[in-house]
Structure 1
Amino acid sequence: MDFGRLLTAMVTPFNQDNRVDFDQTTTLIEYLLSHGTDGLVVAGTTGESPTLSLQEKLDLFEHVVKIVNGRVPVIAGTGSNNTQASIQLTKEAEAIGVDGALLVSPYYNKPNQDGLYHHFSTIAKETNLPIMLYNIPSRAVVKMTVETVAALAQIENIVSVKDSTGDLDGISSLLEQVPEDFTVYSGDDSLTLPIQSIGGTGVVSVSSHIIGNQMKEMISLFEQGNVAKAAHKHRQLLPVMKALFMAPSPSPVKAALAYKDIDVGSVRLPLVPLSPFEEQNLYRLIDQYS
């Protein structure tokens, strides 16, 4: 399923009391939609899902769905390492009216491939939402193999994967084994163009908070056949993409948004804000390349 080319893994704005700031969430949504975003992923890792309560997630889903009002797809981060809890949250998100669910590989439990298959397939049976799998071994410790993702892709409502493995050979192999309408999104900003070049659909991006229009231009250039120009744009944007991960995400992108006068507040512990030195390095690169 094609959710669009440039999906933003949206940060969750907090106020000075460290509560979800819904007014700033509205401001952020409008900013992103006017800067190239084709869809929003809400309460994913970039949205600090590990430190959001269940009620905060539901309130956030409801607010985003209301403000977006059908203009772009809203994909809710409803996955966890607890299968039953993931089913419940997915069902509640579906009732709210989201357009899809992002299900991350179960972290910490370290299930084998059979366990991964049954985790995702069990959740899929309990919802009518289109599901995007999230394969991110750097955070989940476990890696879904190409064979596991390909098997899951045969389930009707498992329609996409956000791939953060960095394994271009594996992604190439996967694209040969999945149904034609199954989409593969890069989970790494810096691999957007390489993955697009082997048949990927787009990216679930953090950098699009800051360089959304430029990333959209890069993707469009490639689709139009202007490969050299797209590659040049990729090289131009790469320093900003890298800088936005100079510290655990989303600390850098929240600092960068503040620098652009989009106040989304700080991060919740155990994450911490950037140091003054890190901030100055980040601002310099934003001024230079964005």
Structure 2
Amino acid sequence: MENLPFGRMITAMVTPFDEAGELDVPRVKQLADRLVVGGNDALIINGTTGESPTVFYPQKMELFRAVLEAVDGRVPVIANVGDNCTADTIDFALKVQELGVDGFMCVVPYYNKPPQEGMYQHFAAIARAVKLPIVLYNIPGRCVVNMEAETTLRLARDFENIVAIKEASGRMEQVEAIVAGAPEGFAVYSGDDSATLPIMERGGVGVISTIGNVAPERMRQLVYLAAEGNFAEAQRAHDQLLPLMEGLFTTSNPILVKEALKLAGFPVGGVRLPLVSATPQQSAELKAIMEAVGVL
């Protein structure tokens, strides 16, 4: 853990909204505290699961401040500042840096479809501009393009403050190549709950989790069993949670994560358009899964 400043179990926190769809600051603080108490080593704020595309910059700042106040230094707070415009990302990151967050997450630029050299130059420019550690985020399913292993490794070697990657490509050969070629101290996190165990078996250090909003203790157990090399027990923990890992993604994230929290008695409001709330059928199916895996 001494070489893992953000630990192994990191949840990408949902963003609570009130009945009017506005940022619910009291609930933000309550959720952040709940996730820390639940065993998270760090929190990612306003990532994909936090509905980053529809939380505008002033609200992002308010959100970061609220989480920092609630967490009060107990675990690191990582702010997602990534955008598909390099200049905007840098400008925003410099403002967020002053709030006292512990690190940044930056996604591969989406929609632009940059080539590998464009990805490298994008992240290089951010790394040169900021002081805080950076977690890269590779998610081709949302960004259209995949950041290849050699680009990730080039960034890891060239910039000391690029310290980790959230890998959600689903390409295990790519994960293996990054782990094999990474400089000392560079961490590979699973960006998909269901891929956590396979990635850790290949040398990954943990997960940036969605299910951690709903069952942080259970996911932490899986991660730490794997970290200890107890893969048989980790496999059992994985198999028990897998229906919920998959069930939360039967429609667009985080629709069902927010519905799961509501079912668990900790409502955090709805989602913002163009996302829509879970249907009654989706809610009923999710409830059955949660009961079957022992979360309800």
Structure 1 match to 2:112: 109
| 1:183 and 2:195 are equivalent in the alignment | no
Structure 2 match to 1:271: 275
| 1:249 and 2:292 are equivalent in the alignment | no
1:260 alignment partner AA: A
SS of 2:124's equivalent?
helix
The C-alpha deviation readout for 1:142-195, integer Å capped at 9, x for no partner, is: 110101000000111111000000111111111111111000000000011111
Distance 1:13 1:173 in 2: 37
Structure 2 match to 1:77: 80
1:216 alignment partner AA: R
| 1:237 and 2:241 are equivalent in the alignment | yes
| 1:90 and 2:93 are equivalent in the alignment | yes
| 1:226 and 2:234 are equivalent in the alignment | no
Contact kept? 2:30, 2:70, Cα under 8 Å: no
Structure 1 match to 2:155: 152
Structure 1 match to 2:23: 20
Distance 1:223 1:51 in 2: 35
Distance 2:47 2:225 in 1: 28
| 1:140 and 2:143 are equivalent in the alignment | yes
Pick from 163, 166, 169 the counterpart of residue 165 of structure 1.
169
Q: CA shift at 1:198, angstroms?
A: 1.0
1:65 alignment partner AA: L
Distance 1:278 1:231 in 2: 27
Contact kept? 2:207, 2:223, Cα under 8 Å: no
TM-score, normalising length from structure 1?
A: 0.98
Distance 1:29 1:221 in 2: 24
Structure 2 match to 1:52: 55
SS of 1:96's equivalent?
coil
Higher alpha-carbon deviation: 221-230 or 77-86: 221-230
Where does the alignment leave 5 or more consecutive residues of structure 1 unmatched? none
Q: CA shift at 1:223, angstroms?
A: 2.6
Structure 1 match to 2:41: 38
TM-score, normalising length from structure 2?
A: 0.96
Q: CA shift at 1:226, angstroms?
A: 2.4
Where does the alignment leave 5 or more consecutive residues of structure 2 unmatched? none
Distance 2:120 2:111 in 1: 16
- Regions of 4+ moved over 4 Å: none
SS of 2:98's equivalent?
helix
SS of 1:203's equivalent?
strand
Distance 2:8 2:254 in 1: 21
Structure 2 match to 1:285: 289
| 1:258 and 2:258 are equivalent in the alignment | no
Pick from 117, 122, 145 the counterpart of residue 119 of structure 1.
122
SS of 1:153's equivalent?
helix
Q: CA shift at 1:225, angstroms?
A: 3.2
1:19 alignment partner AA: E
Higher alpha-carbon deviation: 78-87 or 24-33: 24-33
